[in-house]
Structure 1
């Protein structure tokens, strides 16, 4: 997971040199960070969900890691907008495998009352990856100037940002084989899981729409803010506070990583305790409350004048909000029948890919342009956070009665 977010977010640290070399507009960069990745993240998720419920999940995960690593390296070879678009689409299609595959595996390893904590520990990889991408990217820009040309053994000349993509993408081809160290309980125990298709799953969704609709909507909305912040915060600190890429990478990466590493296991442990004591809607109730609290901090990030204070608030924001990464998907896996868990996770990934991953960077870019562009990036991020996060909390809250009802019927059967 850390590797996937590293490859996904590296682009946000190299926006300015790429724009300078390839002449991309703000909207084109937003499309590369969002639609190019998110659309194919969505398209890849549905067949992947089908495969995960039928074949070896480690094998499917290995294939996805290999594909997205090739896509990351291809970003370093792109010469125009459409070749860059294709490379980002390849990353998106490959990365669609990891969340659904990992969530369905974890739900086989742990009982419901102990599932939130391992889901939280796993999900730390998402924000650790975001932090690592900034830290590694920032460190590499110290060694390899993104806007300088380098002659590689007299064979090819690469711009610095191209070399960085190649260096970051290549290790994934080997790291992918770590998937085969994971045991698939379903195959190892020779379980005969009833094979069902998406038509069967949609019948379950229709019967439980009062839970599914607000649950998915709440997660997509809070995800939009997270994706928008991660994509454009490096640009915010560069344009508004005048920090260099080398300064932004380690400091912003540290803030995101520390906040998440501290927050996620803490949230998971609290909710496991709450849930085991009979609070059956604990997962979404907790996320709704923390999302509202985090809204205040999100606004403050872009309102304070000092970059040090702003970076501290970034860490505090991710500490408070990070439960959204694990708790909603945990309750979804608990409620969903075992033979449909891959599909449930993949459909959520598909929806998230189109709206959050695909639309958030472009939304921020569009709002920034509407506010005058350039220096308005801070106001744009503030406005998006203030308007979207409370709606996310409301959606989660609306799902609570349905969660209680579903858990009661599950217990009675």
Structure 2
């Protein structure tokens, strides 16, 4: 069977080696997404000390300043990505958010930093949904959850590197230098993505079929015309599983993003960690626990979700959230910091196990030519609620409790946030009831 026949079926996605390269590069881009998004968390104590911000103000910078524009702009950009080059959109977005991250290093007060963080959100709005769509078109259905899990490694790796590099640069040089260095690094990466990643045929793996004895996918495929917002939402409104998945993930993100932002400050205030030690400690938790959890979630969902068992996709992370709640509480209440480190790895892993399974399920609720817009709709809910509410809420609760608990107020704020994992588990379990009916093969 000729390679030309294969390429007519699925285009550049026919080459396994090239698929792996694209997935790896997109994961690196997603890593920069989270470095730039989360670096503010490790720099918060330094910024507060120099500029005199409260926890509520830091919560506004980490949450609404970023989330409102990030979430709302993601939808029109995803609509464009269903029609134009997804590679161009992701590369341009990377350059924009990285440049604004560098500008954060020049902020002189609250509002200049607030506007720079809004700029980061504007850029990152075009990064994730088109990338989800690219990954889904580069890998067959049987490998998609694992591929999306590998892509999602950018979350723990980026978070860990943001903690590590940001914390070390701030401790040894200055917090402003941390913003500038990581921002400029992302700007330099954008051209590599633009010029080396091809936009694959949309839905090629979904419609192509293997020919017996050939070992290759040869069915020609013609891309379907991109759908309008109205057409995508007309489908989503009829699928209850989408809404339970979206709001379940959003509830998990309230505490997921909130704890990721405030745990570095908790380690300083309640565990006495400073500087490089704190950066290495939190980076290790984010990297080891996060990568293990994301891969476990994707592997289990692909293994258990074969055939008719679609309910496994939301059930795997739901069970993880139920276990994560008491483990987080236990980890925050042991005296030995290395025992706490080991305990923190468990809820960190379980809290991120949802990414591969839930994102895969969302991809299969609509036809291939609607995936970017459907993903952006999911992300609109997840990020507007999760990032917009979680980081600010925990900061505001900490300020409210400070008169009573002093430096320990943040501890009790983190306790309050853990209840959102329980709500997330309930919503995901409900989504499992209708997912098989709503699934699009």
TM-score by length of structure 1 reads: 0.91
Partner of 1:25: 54
Structure 1 position 20, deviation (Å): 2.3
Aligned counterpart in structure 2 of residue 79 of structure 1, from 86, 90, 108: 108
1:26-105 equivalence runs, <5 A: 26-105=55-134
Structure 1 position 277, deviation (Å): 4.8
Matched, 1:284 2:314: yes
Partner of 1:199: 230
Matched, 1:170 2:184: yes
The separation in 2 between residues aligned to 1:312 and 1:44, in whole angstroms, is: 39
- Contact kept, 8 Å, 1:38 with 1:353, in 2: the verdict is yes
Q: Once structures 1 and 2 are overlaid, which stretch shifts more, 369-378 or 50-59?
A: 369-378
Aligned counterpart in structure 2 of residue 222 of structure 1, from 252, 257, 262: 252
Q: Once structures 1 and 2 are overlaid, which stretch shifts more, 309-318 or 240-249?
A: 309-318
The separation in 2 between residues aligned to 1:352 and 1:400, in whole angstroms, is: 18
Aligned counterpart in structure 1 of residue 38 of structure 2, from 2, 9, 26: 9
- Contact kept, 8 Å, 1:113 with 1:275, in 2: the verdict is no
3-state SS in 1 of match to 2:393: helix
Partner of 1:154: none
Cα deviations by residue, 1:220-249 (Å, 9 ceiling, x for unpaired): 011111101110000000000110021111
Aligned counterpart in structure 2 of residue 183 of structure 1, from 198, 202, 209: 198
Structure 1 position 23, deviation (Å): 2.2
The separation in 1 between residues aligned to 2:382 and 2:310, in whole angstroms, is: 25
Matched, 1:239 2:269: yes
- Contact kept, 8 Å, 1:112 with 1:334, in 2: the verdict is no
Q: CA RMSD in A?
A: 1.7
Cα deviations by residue, 1:26-65 (Å, 9 ceiling, x for unpaired): 2111100111011111122012111110111010001100
Distance 1:299 1:310, change over 3 A: same
Structure 1 position 69, deviation (Å): 0.6
Q: Once structures 1 and 2 are overlaid, which stretch shifts more, 364-373 or 229-238?
A: 364-373
3-state SS in 2 of match to 1:78: coil
The separation in 1 between residues aligned to 2:58 and 2:350, in whole angstroms, is: 29
- Contact kept, 8 Å, 2:38 with 2:261, in 1: the verdict is yes
Structure 1 position 359, deviation (Å): 1.2
- Contact kept, 8 Å, 1:62 with 1:176, in 2: the verdict is yes
Partner of 1:391: 423
Which stretches in structure 1 are left out of the alignment for 5+ residues? 145-159
Q: Once structures 1 and 2 are overlaid, which stretch shifts more, 109-118 or 246-255?
A: 109-118
Aligned counterpart in structure 1 of residue 305 of structure 2, from 275, 281, 284: 275
The separation in 1 between residues aligned to 2:226 and 2:58, in whole angstroms, is: 42
Structure 1 position 142, deviation (Å): 4.3
TM-score by length of structure 2 reads: 0.85
Which stretches in structure 2 are left out of the alignment for 5+ residues? 1-29, 205-219
1:254-265 equivalence runs, <5 A: 254-265=284-295
Distance 1:124 1:277, change over 3 A: same
The separation in 2 between residues aligned to 1:399 and 1:282, in whole angstroms, is: 10
- Contact kept, 8 Å, 1:121 with 1:265, in 2: the verdict is yes
The separation in 1 between residues aligned to 2:201 and 2:54, in whole angstroms, is: 48
3-state SS in 1 of match to 2:273: coil
Aligned length: 392
